[in-house]
Amino acid sequence: MKKWLLFAWLSLFCGLTHSHEMTLSELTLKEFSPNEFIWSWGAPAKSRPITDDLSVKFPPHCKVEPRILSCPEKGLNGEISVKGLGENYSATLLRISFLGSEQRVFTLTSVQPQALLAASGRDERSATQIASAYTILGVQHILGGIDHLLFVITLLFLVGFRRQLFWTVSAFTVAHSITLVLSALNILVLRPAPVEACIALSIVLVAAEALSSRITWTKQLPALVALLFGLVHGLGFAGALKEIGLPENHLGLSLFGFNLGVEIGQIGVLALAWLVFRFTRHLKAVEKLRRAALYLMGSLAAFWTLTRVVQIFS
C-alpha cells in the first residue's frame, strides 16, 4: 500500500513538473506591393524546420510560391488555415503587415486553426470562435506554466482541503485577473525578469510556511497571501498573452476567454489533487510525502529564483 501511495503522489507531482510550456509558431506575411506578400515561418528555439510540423493553406484565389503570396484579384480575402497544431505547437501567431504600416495579428489553435479575413485583413471569425480559441490557450498556458501550478499546490498544502481553501483560491483568482487585464491593456507594464523572479520566490515562501510548525500570519490569513502574490502571477499570465496577441475587434472577449481557461485548468489540477487526497488521507505515509513534496518544490523554486535574479542584472 505504501508503494502505491508513493506512486500516486509522485505521479501527480511529476506530471506537473514535466509539463511543457506553451510553444508558439509564427506565420508572417509582409505586403511589399498591392496584394503581394512575402511569407515565412518562424519559431523560437527550434532546431528542426517548422515546416516539418505545420503546413499552411491560403485562399484558393491566391498564387503561392516558396516565399511569395500573390492575391491580385480579390486581395487577401478568405480563409487562412494551419494544419498540425496541437502536437509540437500549441498555437500559431499569424502576423500580417500591410502597406502603410498597418498590422494585424491573429491567433490560431488546434480548436480554431483558421482565420477568416475580409479584404481589409480584418478577422471575420465569430465571437464564439474567438472566445473558444482563447479559452483553450488559457488552459494550455496554466497547465504548461509549472511555476503557477506549483504555487497553487503549495497554497493547497498550506491550507488543506478546508473551507478556507475556497477563499484562498478565490483571492488568488481575483488578484491575477486584475493584473492580467491591466497589463494586457498596457495600463500596468513591468519588466518580465523581475516578475518571473517574484513568481518563483512566492513558491519558496509559501512552501517554507507550509513546512513550518509555527502559527504565523501566513497560516492565519492565507487569502491575503494569495491576493498579494496573485497580483504578481497575473503579470506573468499577461506576459504570455502579449506574446499571443489580442484581436482588436474582440478584445474584452479574448481576455475573458483566456482568464476563464486559466481558471478551468487551475480547478482541474485542484480536483486531481483532491482525488489523490481522498484515497490516501488515512495512510500514515501521507505526512512524510507531503513534506518531501514541499521540500522538492521549494528547492526547485529557489533555483528558479536565483537564475531569474541573475537574468535581471544580465
Rounded percentage of the chain residues whose pLDDT exceeds 70:
85
Q: Mean pLDDT, to the nearest integer, of 165-191?
A: 88
Reported as a single tens digit per residue, the pLDDT across 136-171 is 888 877 877 788 889 999 999 999 888 888 899 899
**88-91: long-range contacts, CB 8 A cutoff, minimum separation 24:** 88/23, 88/53, 89/23, 89/24, 89/25, 89/43, 89/50, 89/53, 89/54, 90/22, 90/23, 90/24, 90/137, 90/140, 90/144, 91/22, 91/24, 91/25, 91/137, 91/140, 91/244
Reported as a single tens digit per residue, the pLDDT across 90-149 is 788 888 888 876 677 777 887 778 887 765 555 556 778 778 878 888 887 787 778 888
Reported as a single tens digit per residue, the pLDDT across 287-298 is 888 889 899 999
pTM for the complete prediction?
A: 0.69
Q: How far is CA 71 from CA 76, 108, 124, 233, 272, in A?
A: 6, 21, 18, 44, 50
Rounded percentage of the chain residues whose pLDDT exceeds 90:
21
The SS3 of residue 78 is strand
DSSP conformation class of 123:
B
Alpha-carbon distance of 206 to 203, in angstroms, equals 5
Q: Is the confidence at residue 180, as pLDDT, over 70?
A: yes
Confidence of residue 16 (pLDDT cuts 50, 70, 90): very low
Alpha-carbon distance of 169 to 160, in angstroms, equals 12
Q: Is the confidence at residue 203, as pLDDT, over 60?
A: yes
Reported as a single tens digit per residue, the pLDDT across 18-57 is 444 557 788 889 988 888 999 988 765 454 556 677 889 9
